[in-house]
C-alpha cells in the first residue's frame, strides 16, 4: 500500500483519481474541499444534501459517480457526525467505512479529505499517521490457515489531503511512522491469531530470528531450558514443568545509539497457551488462551517498528515463552519455588503464572542497567473487569515514566489508565512458608499482581502494562488487536 500527501484543495476538481473521500457533518455548512467540489459540479453536493441523500450518521456512506466538472471517477461521502465532535476516533471509523466500499468496488486509488477537517485539533504528523494506521487496520486479514484465501486487494494508493498550511515534512514522517507501526501491529496480530499448535515458543523464536535478519543493528539470542536452569530461573521453569513443548527465553537487542547509552528494556509475557495448569481454567472460552502471549507479540511488534524506522535508541526485548499445562510433573498449589533473584515464592494458584515467568525476565533485565523497564502482559482478569476492553492498565514506581506512557497512549489513541500499586498490595502476598505468595485475596487483583512484579524491579524505573482487556476481542470480532504496539512505539519515538 502506497501513501502520499496532497496539500491544499485548489485543484481538487481536476484530480484524476478513482475516488475522492469526503466527510458529511450534521452541524456544518459546506466549506473547504466540499465547497470547491460543489461549485465545480454546479451544486450536485448541495442538491443531494437538500434531498437528504447524504447522511451524517457516523460510518454511513454514499457514492456519486461520473460527475460533470469533476475529473475523479466518483465521490464517496462518509458520515462523520457533528463537526465539533470530529476526532481521530471518528476519522478512523470513517476511513474504515470508506475502505470497505473501495475494496468492495475494486477501486485502485483514492484521495481522502477526511483529515483535512481536523486541521485545528490534530497535527500534520498525526493526521497522516492515523490515516495510514486506519487503512492498514481495515485491510488486515488473517486467512493464512483457510483453504480459500481472500481476493487480492486492488486498492494500492491513498493520497492524504491536508490544508495548505500543513507541515509537509511532518505529514510525510507521519506516513513513514504509520507504516512501520502498522507493520508491527500486523505482526502482533498474526502471532496472536495463530493457533497454539502453530504459535509455540519455538515459533516465536523463529519469528524473532526473522526480525534479526530483516533489520540491521538487531541481534537475537535464544536461551534453552538448560541455560535457564544455570541462570536459576526457577519461577519461569516452574510454569513449564507440565508441558512437553520446550520453553524459550528470547532476547532481542537493538543498538541504534552509542554503546554507552543505557537501553530501554521491554519484557513481554509469552504464554503461548494457558490451561491454568493444575488450577485448571473452566472450559468456556479456553480457546482464547492462545492470546495469552499477546504481551510477547506486542513487544515483537514494537521491535519490528523500531527496526524498520532505525530509531536512535538502544532497546532490548525479553520474551519468556512457554506453555502452562497440567500433568504429573506440573507445579502444584503449595509448591515453593526459587526465583532467579533468590527470592522464594509459594504457589497458591498455578493460573497466576504470567507473573512467575515475568519476574525472572525482569531480574534478567536488570543486568542491562536499563534507563527504564516496561513489562507487557495479559496478566489479570481483574484489570479487564476494571477497565474493560478500552484501556490498558498502567502501574509504575516512576511518576515521569508513568506520565510519558500515559501521554503516548493519549497521542496514539491507544489508551492506558494508571492504577495504584502500593505497599498495602504487597502485604496481600504474605506467606507463612516463603518470602511471599504468587496471589493475594479477591480484592485489587490487578494491583496485587503489579505489586508482585515490582518487588523484582528493585530500584530501577519500572512500569507494568496489563493488557488483559485490550489485547484481543471476543465474539464475532474475535481476534488480536495488536495493542499496545501504538502506545509503545509512540513512547519510544519520544524517548
What amino acid positions are annotated as catalytic residues? 281, 355
Using CB atoms within 10 Å of the CB of residue 35, give its burial: 0 to 12 exposed, 13 to 18 middle, 19+ buried: middle
- End-to-end CA distance of the chain, in Å? 29
CA distance 491 to 495: 6
Of 140, 232, 148, 227, the C-alpha closest to 186 is 140
What is the DSSP-derived secondary structure letter of residue 232?
T
Q: Rounded distance, CA 254 to CA 308, Å?
A: 11
Alpha-carbon distance of 410 to 276, in angstroms, equals 34
**Cα separation, 139 vs 95, whole angstroms:** 11
Judged on CB neighbours under 10 Å (0-12, 13-18, 19+), 441 is: exposed
Please give the Cα distance from 461 to 400 (Å, whole number).
Answer: 9
Residues 6+ apart with CB under 8 A from 34: 22, 23, 45, 113
Residue 313 backbone class (left: φ over 0; alpha: ψ -120 to 50; beta: rest): beta
**Nearest Cα to Cα of residue 157 among 345, 350, 321, 17:** 17
Task: Extract the runs of DSSP E, i.e. beta strands, from 216-354.
Answer: 218-223, 248-255, 264-268, 270-274, 314-324, 336-338, 344-346
- Outline where DSSP puts E strands in 102-150: 109-112
Amino acid at each position: 500500500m502506497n501513501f502520499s500527501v496532497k496539500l491544499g484543495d485548489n485543484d481538487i476538481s481536476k484530480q484524476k483519481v478513482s475516488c475522492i473521500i469526503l466527510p458529511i457533518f450534521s452541524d456544518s455548512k459546506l466549506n473547504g474541499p466540499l465547497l470547491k467540489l460543489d461549485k465545480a459540479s454546479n451544486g450536485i453536493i448541495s442538491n443531494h444534501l437538500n434531498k437528504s441523500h447524504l447522511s451524517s450518521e457516523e460510518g454511513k456512506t454514499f457514492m456519486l459517480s461520473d460527475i460533470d466538472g469533476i475529473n475523479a471517477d466518483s465521490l464517496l461521502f462518509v458520515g462523520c457526525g457533528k463537526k465539533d465532535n470530529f476526532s481521530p476516533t471518528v476519522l478512523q471509523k470513517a476511513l474504515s467505512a470508506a475502505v470497505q466500499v473501495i475494496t468492495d468496488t475494486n477501486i485502485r486509488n483514492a484521495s481522502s479529505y477526511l483529515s483535512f477537517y481536523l486541521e485545528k485539533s490534530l497535527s500534520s504528523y498525526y493526521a497522516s499517521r492515523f490515516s495510514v494506521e486506519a487503512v492498514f487496520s481495515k485491510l488486515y486479514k488473517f486467512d493464512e490457515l483457510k483453504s480459500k484465501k481472500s481476493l487480492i486487494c486492488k486498492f494500492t494508493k491513498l493520497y492524504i489531503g491536508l490544508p495548505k498550511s500543513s507541515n509537509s515534512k511532518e505529514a510525510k514522517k507521519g506516513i513513514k511512522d504509520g507504516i512501520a507501526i502498522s507493520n508491527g501491529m500486523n505482526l502482533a496480530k498474526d502471532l496472536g491469531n495463530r493457533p497454539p499448535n502453530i504459535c509455540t515458543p519455538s515459533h516465536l523464536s523463529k519469528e524473532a530470528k526473522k526480525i534479526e535478519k530483516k533489520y540491521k543493528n538487531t541481534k537475537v539470542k535464544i536461551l534453552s531450558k538448560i541455560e535457564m536452569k544455570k541462570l536459576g530461573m526457577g519461577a519461569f521453569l516452574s510454569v513449564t514443568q507440565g508441558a512437553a513443548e520446550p520453553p524459550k527465553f528470547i532476547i532481542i537487542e537493538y543498538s541504534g545509539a552509542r554503546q554507552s547509552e543505557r537501553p530501554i528494556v521491554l519484557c513481554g509475557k509469552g504464554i503461548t497457551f494457558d490451561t491454568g495448569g493444575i488450577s485448571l481454567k473452566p472450559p468456556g472460552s479456553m480457546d482464547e488462551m492462545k492470546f495469552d502471549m499477546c504481551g510477547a507479540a506486542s513487544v515483537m511488534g514494537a521491535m519490528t517498528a523500531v527496526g524498520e524506522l532505525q530509531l536512535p535508541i538502544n532497546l532490548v526485548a525479553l520474551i519468556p515463552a512457554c506453555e502452562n499445562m497440567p500433568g504429573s510433573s506440573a507445579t502444584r498449589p503449595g509448591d515453593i519455588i526459587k526465583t532467579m533473584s533468590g527470592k522464594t515464592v509459594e504457589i497458591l494458584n498455578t493460573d497466576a503464572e504470567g507473573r512467575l515467568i515475568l519476574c525472572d525476565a525482569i531480574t534478567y533485565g536488570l543486568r542491562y542497567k536499563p534507563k527504564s523497564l516496561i513489562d507487557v502482559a495479559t496478566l489479570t482478569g481483574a484489570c479487564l473487569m476494571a477497565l474493560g476492553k478500552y484501556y490498558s492498565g498502567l502501574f509504575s514506581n516512576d511518576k515521569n515514566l508513568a506520565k510519558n506512557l500515559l501521554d503516548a497512549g493519549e497521542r496514539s489513541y491507544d489508551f492506558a489508565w494508571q492504577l495504584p500499586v502500593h505497599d498495602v498490595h504487597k502485604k496481600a502476598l504474605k506467606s507463612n512458608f516463603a518470602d511471599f505468595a504468587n496471589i493475594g485475596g479477591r480484592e485489587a487483583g490487578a494491583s496485587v499482581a503489579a505489586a508482585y512484579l515490582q518487588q523484582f524491579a528493585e530500584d530501577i524505573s519500572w512500569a507494568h502494562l496489563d493488557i488483559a482487556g485490550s489485547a484481543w476481542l471476543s465474539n464475532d470480532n474475535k481476534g488480536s488487536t495488536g495493542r499496545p504496539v501504538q502506545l509503545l512505539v509512540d513512547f519510544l519515538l519520544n524517548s
